[in-house]
Every structure is written in C-alpha cells, then in structure tokens.
Amino acid sequence: MDDEDLDELLDEVEKKFCRNVSIASSAARTNSNVAGKDEKDKDGQKKHGATKPKRTVNSVTEDIDALLEELQEEDCSPFPQPKAEQFPKGPHVEKRLPSQSGGRKCCPVFIGGSSVANGVGTAASKRSCDQLRCISCDFRVLMFDDCEWDSTCDYLFLRNNMPERQKLGTKLKKRRGLRAYACQCSWISTLEPTDLRDQPQLRWVCGKHQD
C-alpha cells in the first residue's frame, strides 16, 4: 500500500470518527436539555402546588375581612333597620275601657238632700245617684252639699261657667240639709229623695257605678 492510499484511509476514519463524536455530543446535549426542562417543569409544579394553598387561604381571609367590614358598616349606620312588629302569641284579648266595664245602674234614679246616702238607688234603698250625666248637654251633673241655687241662677250663667265649681259658687246659698244639682243646661235643689221620673225637665241618666 502506498502513501496516498494510507492518507485516504486515514481521512475516511477521521471523518467517520469525528461524525460519531459530533452526533454523540449533540445527542448528549439534547438529552441534557430535555432532562433540565423536565426538572424545571417538576420544580415549577412543586412551587405551584406549594403556593396554591396560600392563595386559597388569602382568598378566604379577604372574604372574611370584607364580610366583617359590611357588618361593621351596618352596626354604625345612623338609620337602623326597622324591626318587624311583634304581636303577642295566644288568643287576642280585647281591652275594655272603664266606662265599658261591668257595673250597676240605679233603677229608678233618685236625687236627694245632703242627708241622703249616695250610691246605687233602688225602689227600696232610694239612694241618691252620684253618677249622673245629662243626655242633652252631655255634661256630668255636679252636686253641692248643704247648698241651694239662688233664684238669679239661669241657663246663661250655667252655660258660661260650667264646670268650674268656684265660679258656680257665686250663685249658691248655704242651706243645711239641701243638695244643689246642675249640668250645663239644667239645675235643681232638693231636700228629700226625688225620683227623676217625676222631673221630666231634667234629662239626667245614671252612669254605671263601679263595684
């Protein structure tokens, strides 16, 4: 074999050897890059997995803070929420006014002098009624013991001065045993028990006496 043939052979071996080395080196670099990428992906997944709960906890904390702020705003509001009206449980009990409550009336109705006892009058007891009201002027009838009306007393005087006792006293005279009665439109003085059925000019009726 001559020198030329030997040189050609060496060249071919060198080319093949260098090519294999280049391919092996390229493959090694590729594998290294792939492995590095996989490791980075794994690290990224680990980091992602580690930080995810933190974001979840932070989110829950923010929601709680927001809810607490809303509650505080409601408590500090100058206009409180209207409360629903509460009704008592159980059967409804109707409240009755004193005038509608139980009581007794005089029957018949008597008036009398200061010596006649006041109370519920009956045909037997003949007590003087002290719960009289006039159905004409709708005033309560006032009584004055040991007094009688002066002859100058009239409708206009009663109209202007009823029910002020002090002013009415200017037309009263002291008379032992008598009792003076008056509403805004009528008046009378009496000594003995008197049945109002015998005094048709007096439009007085008995209110209820409390038991």
What angle (nearest 5°) sits at the alpha carbon of residue 83, between those of residues 80 and 87? 160
What angle (nearest 5°) sits at the alpha carbon of residue 102, between those of residues 142 and 90? 135
Range of the domain at 137: 110-206
**How many domains, the chain?**
1
Say which residues have a Cβ less than 8 Å from residue 136's Cβ, sequence separation at least 6: 183, 185, 186, 203
Surface-to-core class of residue 139, CB atoms within 10 Å of its CB (0-12 exposed, 13-18 middle, 19+ buried) = middle
- Domain-located, residue 179: yes
- Domain-located, residue 72: no
- Domain-located, residue 102: no
- Domain-located, residue 117: yes
Q: What is the pLDDT of residues 158-205, one digit of tens each?
A: 999 999 999 999 999 999 999 999 999 999 999 999 999 999 999 999
* pTM of the complete model beyond 0.85: no
Q: What percent of the chain has pLDDT over 90?
A: 46
Say which residues have a Cβ less than 8 Å from residue 129's Cβ, sequence separation at least 6: 106, 109, 110, 111, 118, 120, 121, 206
Q: How much is the average pLDDT of 100-118?
A: 83
- Domain-located, residue 194: yes
Q: How much is the average pLDDT of 32-52?
A: 53
Task: Tell me whether strands 187-190 and 172-182 are parallel, antiparallel or unpaired.
Answer: antiparallel
- Domain-located, residue 169: yes
Task: Give residue 207's pLDDT.
Answer: 82
Task: Give residue 109's pLDDT.
Answer: 95
- Domain-located, residue 187: yes
Q: What is the pLDDT of residues 66-100, one digit of tens each?
A: 666 666 555 444 444 444 444 444 444 334 334 33
The average confidence (pLDDT) of the chain is: 74
- Domain-located, residue 99: no
